Amino acid sequence: MMYRTVILLPAKEDIREAALWYNKKQKGLGKRFTFQVREKIHFIKRYPQANSVCYDDVRTAILSVFPFMIHYSIDNQTKTIIIIAVLHTSRNPELWRKRKQ
C-alpha cells in the first residue's frame, strides 16, 4: 500500500527557492529539480522505510542528481509521509529540528 504525502509549507518553500535559484543558473533547470524531488517523493511513498533514520524519527533521502536531501517522518497509523524539509546537503541538518516544533 502506498502512503499519502503531506509537504509542510517550509518544505514547499525550500523546493520553490531552490527551483528559482536553479532557473537563474540555467533555464529549465528548476523544472528538472522539481521533477527530481517529485520522483524521490514518489519512491518514498512506495518504500517509506528504505531510507535510514538520521535524527529522532526523521529519515533523509538524497536526490540522485542535485545535492539536496528530503527530510521526512512517517506516521504509520495514518499511512502518511510528512515532508519536513528539502535542504541542500551543505546546509546544517539541524534546521529541520526548528520546523518540527
**Ordered per-residue pLDDT tens for the chain, 101 residues:** 789 999 999 999 999 999 999 999 999 999 999 999 999 999 999 999 999 998 889 999 999 999 999 999 999 999 999 999 999 988 665 665 566 54
Q: What is the pLDDT of residue 95?
A: 62
CATH number at residue 24: 3.30.2310.20
Supply the pLDDT for residue 97: 59
Number of domains in the chain: 1
State how beta strands 4-7 and 53-55 pair: unpaired
DSSP structural state of residue 52: P
* Model pLDDT, residue 99: 61
Contact call for residues 26 and 75 (beta carbons, < 8 A): no
Domain that holds residue 93: 4-100
